Amino acid sequence: MVNKRPCYCYLFPFGLGHSGVHNPLEAGQSPADLQQIGALAVNPLGDRIVDSFFPDGNHRVDFPGFVRVLAHFRPVDEEDPGMRDPKQPEPLNSRTNKLRFAFQLYDLDRDGKISRQEMLQVLRLMVGVQVTEEQLESIADRTVQEADEDGDGAVSFLEFTKSLEKMNIEQKMSIRVLK
């Protein structure tokens, strides 16, 4: 899926100016390299997104790994999903995988559930300082309650998907240049 188009070659330029590693394909990138991108510092979810480039606690990401993450954001192809070979794994840019990427940003402890605490942490990052902690907690409560269907006080991936079923994820989680 990933190597269908070769256009990702130009998408790996970030390390060049920052870390002095001139051949990223050989050396790979470390979280610090990514964090040096200035704009990411102001992004409330910047750290988490950088971390998602480094699964399983690795501290380097090589080019295929990097591209694999980016592949989540490819626009969905027009092709009929029924035509696809069922044996093949689902492409990385499918709706489910896009959602899973977002889900993992919430689910820090990787237990497959967004707990109230995790929701609160995200909210704390996203909502401005002007909202008090108490209010934040009630927002977190409500958000979890809203999506929580089996009543375990946490949002599973299934519930997460369900709460967003009306949203056009394919459109909202795609970047045109990655086409």
Partner 1 sequence: MLRAALPLLLLALSGAVAAEEPTQEPGALGEPSPGLALFRWQWHEVEAPYLVALWILVASLAKIVFHLSRKVTSLVPESCLLILLGLVLGGIVLAVAKKAEYQLEPGTFFLFLLPPIVLDSGYFMPSRLFFDNLGAILTYAVVGTLWNAFTTGAALWGLQQAGFVASRVQAGLLDFLLFGSLISAVDPVAVLAVFEEVHVNETLFIIVFGESLLNDAVTVVLYKVCNSFVEMGPANVQATDYLKGVGQYFPLLAGIGSLPPPGSSLFVVSLGGAAVGFVFAFLLALTTRFTKRVRIIEPLLVFLLAYAAYLTAEMASLSAILSVTMCGLGCKKYVEANISHKSRTAVKYTMKTLASCAETVIFMLLGISAVDSSKWAWDSGLVLGTLIFILFFRALGVVLQTWVLNQFRLVPLDKIDQVVMSYGGLRGAVAFALVILLDRTKVPAKDYFVATTIVVVFFTVIVQGLTIKPLVKWLKVKRSEHHKPTLNQELHEHTFDHILAAVEDVVGHHGYHYWRDRWEQFDKKYLSQLLMRRSAYRIRDQIWDVYYRLNIRDAISFVDQGGHVLSSTGLTLPSMPSRNSVAETSVTNLLRESGSGACLDLQVIDTVRSGRDREDAAMHHLLCGGLYKPRRRYKASCSRHFISEDAQERQDKEVFQQNMKRRLESFKSTKHNICFTKSKPRSHKAGRKKKDGVANAEAINGKPPRDLGFQDTAAVILTVESEEEEEDSESSETEKEDDEGIIFVARATSEVLQEGKVSGSLELCPSPRVIPPSPTCAEKELPWKSGQGDLAVYVSSETTKIVPVDMQMGWNQSISSLESLASPPCTQPTTLTHLPPRHLVAEEPQTLLDLSSDPRPSFAFPPSLAKAGRSRSESSADIPQQQELQPLMGHKDNTHLSPGTATSHWCINFNRGGRL
User: Which 3 state secondary structure label does DSSP give 154?
Assistant: strand
**Closer CB to partner 1, residue 88 or residue 175?**
175
Interface residues for partner 1 in 115-154 (CB under 8 A)? 122-123, 126-128, 130-132, 134-135, 137-139, 141-143, 145-149, 151
Query: Among residues 22, 87, 110, 166, which is the contact residue for partner 1, using CB under 8 A?
Result: 166
What sign for the dihedral angle of Cα 29, 30, 31, 34? negative
| Count of all residues that appear for the chain in the document | 179
**Nearest to residue 40, comparing CAs of 24, 56, 52?**
52
For the bound state, the minimum distance from the C-beta of residue 178 to partner 1, rounded and expressed in Å, comes to 8
For the bound state, the minimum distance from the C-beta of residue 87 to partner 1, rounded and expressed in Å, comes to 29
**Closer CB to partner 1, residue 1 or residue 11?**
11
Interatomic CA distance for residues 140 and 129, integer angstroms: 15
User: Which 3 state secondary structure label does DSSP give 162?
Assistant: helix
175 binds partner 1 (CB under 8 A): yes
User: Which 3 state secondary structure label does DSSP give 115?
Assistant: strand
Query: Among residues 101, 108, 116, 124, which is the contact residue for partner 1, using CB under 8 A?
Result: 101
Interface residues for partner 1 in 19-78 (CB under 8 A)? 34, 37, 39-40, 42-46, 49-50, 53, 70, 73, 75
Give Cβ neighbours of residue 152 (< 8 Å, ≥ 6 apart): 113
Residue 148 tokens, joined = 């929580």
**Nearest to residue 70, comparing CAs of 34, 42, 32?**
34
Would you tell me which residues interact with partner 1 (CB under 8 A)?
Answer: 11, 13-14, 34, 37, 39-40, 42-46, 49-50, 53, 70, 73, 75, 101-102, 105-106, 122-123, 126-128, 130-132, 134-135, 137-139, 141-143, 145-149, 151, 160, 163-164, 166-168, 171-178
